[in-house]
Structure 1
Amino acid sequence: MASAAPKVPPLPLARAVGRFRDGLAALHRRFVPGHIALLELHMMGFLSQSISAAAQLGIADALARGPRQPGELARELGVDEDALRRLLRLLVSFGIFEQRRDGGYQLNRMSQALRSDGAVSLRDLFLFFGSEYHRTHWGHLADAVRTGKSVGPALDGMDFFEYAATNREIGDLFDRAMTAVSGLSVDTLLAAYDFGQFGTIVDIGAGQGSLLTDILRRTPAIHGVVFDLPEVVAELSMQLPDLGLADRLTIETGSFFDTAPKGGDAYLLKHIVHDWSDADAERILRTVREAMDPAARLLLIDIVLPEHGRPHVGKFTDLEMLVNATGRERDAHSFGTLLSRSGFTLSRIIPTVGPDSILEAHPAW
């Protein structure tokens, strides 16, 4: 049975805890030798690969059936027992998995997210980040900084989205990873914004439709339209009869550079514009604007870069955009400028407990 979805803490509490955490980390770095602090930060890359290895090996799925002794777990996974102990020793030390007094291992609140059937599962996201494809590209970060351009065309002969469309093993893994990201944020978005005020929501670049289907399940009165490329929504088309949403969810296909469905009360774009340059993002937004009625609303769900100098997830994903896409993360001023050039007026920015904010805009003409 999948674990229950986490409760969303109040936004002021989450922000206060975040500032406290950042302050403690900064204090630690200040009072150890600089070279030691730098080494500790760099070795976090080993931790990220260890998490991806745990996802690949299916450790959490095995432990979801109950605690396991090391030998039993190794046999079930088909891995070397000593090597498994060494991997889990690191992960347990960071609070990922727990080791019992009898030496066995069990799941905890963090490792629940490594389950393939978790209420919030990040397994596919970690499989993508840990893939050889992704590691190879990030190995060329210095090249991206030298040129200011994505490394995909030089390494693969094409940009990421072209590569994902023609190499469906990576494309399917990426689509599942983005579905995992949607599952990560749905509770925080619903806690921050009333999607039930709209009759029909059109999700532009919806991927496999996980965010919109979750919204529809929790808001029974509204209807939804999933819009993406045919190869991206093909799996959703096959699943639609089993979702119980056949009377409220429709699927339309096409490219958001060329067209968008008409008749929506709200147009939702989650993690779309950050993938693209300002020129391409403006082209996408203008296409959506042409499909919108004057009273409709645009809802951009994206990271808004903060003004403070503390660590923030957007500073990581901004480099992901540099390495693997043509886009960037943007601050509030940049979003306002982009929306104004695209025919919109930014009404408000609604923060959430998670890294994303909801930018609500309306047509300017």
Structure 2
Amino acid sequence: MTTKTSDSPLPWPPAAEQLPPHLRLMGIAAAKWVVQPVYVLAKLGAADHLAEEELSTAALADRLKVRCDPLRRCLRAAASVGIFRETEQDHWALTDTADHLRTDAQMSLRDFTVLLGEAPMWAPFGHIMDVMRQDTPAFDAVHGQPMYAHLAEDDELARTYHGAWSSLTEGVMRALTTAYDFSRFATIADLGGGDGTALRILLATHPQLRGILMDLSHSGEIHQGADRAFEERLRTVSGRLPDDVPPGADAYFLKNTLHCLSPDLVLQTLRRIRSEMTRPEQRLLIVEGVVQQGNGFDWSKLMDIEVMVNNGGREHSLEEWRTLLSQSGFRLTSAREVLHPQWLLEAEAA
């Protein structure tokens, strides 16, 4: 296996001290010149081919079944911001950053990168101005239906979507299992749990737990290939928030689900969950970003644009979460950052 080169500080977007302000703004405005070449390289699987050995442009182009010249130019653009590295002999190698584009990387961002670059996800951003003037997600306007309805009809995009969040979910959930005591619960319901990654990790680390995985009907195939012990402890049900909440769970768990909903739908969802929480020991657990005050970089401020354009959703500050929970009959009992930028909010029935 080749030795990955460590990344130099990325000059993208260019820091204020590196370039005059007008060039820094140009770098930010022209981000697509970097984003889409990296998307292409991720989609083609370039990092998988470079994981074992450095390859010439010609050799890599032959493996990827693409033209040599545009491949070189995309690699060159990506290398200019620390993703991949060109050797003196027109050969290419992975950097630490490019290593995360491998399909089998521990925290693979291959599907995440592909998802954001795919045409159905990219096109709505060309209509962001419409969101300024009308209360309709740009995705709905472009595709004629909400994003999750589109995913239900597009198997390839749905697989990429679930793959994009599964790898990131694994990191967050492993941190969460050490930061929070799940041993007090017998049953946990993951509402909008996607491909079941979060529940799979919780059940693997907490043998006493049983799980209920609720998502759209197509998610019932999620845990195929799991061992029988896991199968016996996990029940899948079809449902859609805010209407469908399975009864009887000791904890109701939502990870990056509520930010896809409008504030009105968030309130409806929380109130529906509250109606199922009739025992004092039951808890609501929410894993979401929490928007920070001030002008500093905050991932949640950027994710907020993604859910605004594609879902009509929003990210919330801690005070906004406290208000939403209070208006739904909950009391926020704790809030902590688990793994940046994800926080865990715990609430009980008020």
TM-score, normalised relative to structure 1: 0.85
Unaligned runs of 5+ in 1: 2-20
Correspondence 1:242-253 to 2 at 5 A = 242=227, 245-253=230-238
Q: In structure 2, what is the Cα distance between the partners aligned to 1:306 and 1:290? A: 31
Unaligned runs of 5+ in 2: 2-8
Equivalent residue in structure 2 for 1:234, among 217, 220, 223: 220
Task: Check whether the contact 2:212–2:235 (CA below 8 A) recurs between aligned residues.
Answer: yes
Correspondence 1:1-365 to 2 at 5 A = 28-29=15-16, 32-100=19-87, 103-231=90-218, 233-237=219-223, 239-242=224-227, 245-292=230-277, 293-364=279-350
Distance 1:210 1:31, change over 3 A: closer
The DSSP-based 3-state class of the residue aligned with 1:152 is: helix
Which has the larger displacement, 75-84 or 191-200? Answer: 191-200
Give the 4+ runs in structure 1 shifted more than 6 A. Answer: 24-27
Q: In structure 2, what is the Cα distance between the partners aligned to 1:168 and 1:71? A: 33
User: How many matched pairs?
Assistant: 342
Q: In structure 2, what is the Cα distance between the partners aligned to 1:257 and 1:169? A: 26
The DSSP-based 3-state class of the residue aligned with 1:195 is: coil
Task: Check whether the contact 1:202–1:227 (CA below 8 A) recurs between aligned residues.
Answer: yes
Q: In structure 1, what is the Cα distance between the partners aligned to 2:14 and 2:30? A: 19
**CA shift digits 1:140-181 (9 cap, x unpaired):** 111112224312332222222233334444344323333244
Q: In structure 2, what is the Cα distance between the partners aligned to 1:27 and 1:40? A: 7
Which has the larger displacement, 128-137 or 83-92? Answer: 83-92
Q: In structure 1, what is the Cα distance between the partners aligned to 2:289 and 2:263? A: 15
Deviation at 1:355, TM superposition (A): 0.8
Q: In structure 2, what is the Cα distance between the partners aligned to 1:197 and 1:51? A: 44
TM-score, normalised relative to structure 2: 0.88
Deviation at 1:66, TM superposition (A): 3.0
Q: In structure 2, what is the Cα distance between the partners aligned to 1:103 and 1:153? A: 44
Q: In structure 2, what is the Cα distance between the partners aligned to 1:147 and 1:72? A: 50
Q: Identical aligned pairs, as a percentage?
A: 32
What amino acid does structure 2 have at the position aligned with 1:274? H
Q: In structure 2, what is the Cα distance between the partners aligned to 1:209 and 1:27? A: 39
Deviation at 1:26, TM superposition (A): 10
Task: Check whether the contact 1:206–1:228 (CA below 8 A) recurs between aligned residues.
Answer: yes
Task: Check whether the contact 2:38–2:74 (CA below 8 A) recurs between aligned residues.
Answer: no
By percentage of residues, which structure has more helix? Answer: 1
Task: Check whether the contact 2:83–2:97 (CA below 8 A) recurs between aligned residues.
Answer: yes
**CA shift digits 1:263-297 (9 cap, x unpaired):** 32221100111111111111111222222332111
CA-atom RMSD, angstroms?
2.6
Task: Check whether the contact 2:214–2:239 (CA below 8 A) recurs between aligned residues.
Answer: yes
The DSSP-based 3-state class of the residue aligned with 2:297 is: coil
